[in-house]
């Protein structure tokens, strides 16, 4: 497998994980309830933010490792 293909596969996996993560956030039924809804989801939003930044950090680190990789065995 070529280094570029492996890097693209890893990027795709992180993109899918981040997309699925955002789908789990709760949504209010109407826009009028938004002010009352925000305090109810604060912990979900904190969990989402921490998970997003962790996945982002792992993704950028793996990208940096792939860029520094010189030889990939066949």
DSSP string for residues in 4-62: HHHHHHHHHHHHHHHHHHHHTS---SSGGGHHHHGGGGHHHHHHHHHHHHHHHHHHHHH
**pLDDT score recorded for residue 45:** 86
Residue 53 is predicted with a pLDDT of 92
Between residues 74 and 9, the one the model is more confident about: 9
Q: 28: which 2 tokens? A: 């209010």
Which of the residue ranges 2-6, 24-28, 55-59, 62-66 has the most confident prediction, judged by mean pLDDT? 55-59
Q: Which of the 8 DSSP states describes residue 1?
A: -
pLDDT tens column, 23-61:
888 888 887 778 888 888 888 889 889 998 998 898 888
Residue 29's pLDDT is 82
pTM: 0.67
Q: What is the pLDDT of residue 70?
A: 64
Counting every residue written for the chain, the total comes to: 74
């Amino acid at each position: 497998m070529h280094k570029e293909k492996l890097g693209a596969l890893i990027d795709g996996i992180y993109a899918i994980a981040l997309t699925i993560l955002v789908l789990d956030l709760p949504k209010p039924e109407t826009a009028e309830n938004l002010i009352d809804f925000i305090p109810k989801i604060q912990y979900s939003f904190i969990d989402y933010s921490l998970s997003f930044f962790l996945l982002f950090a792992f993704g950028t680190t793996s990208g940096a490792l792939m860029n520094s990789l010189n030889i990939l065995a066949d």
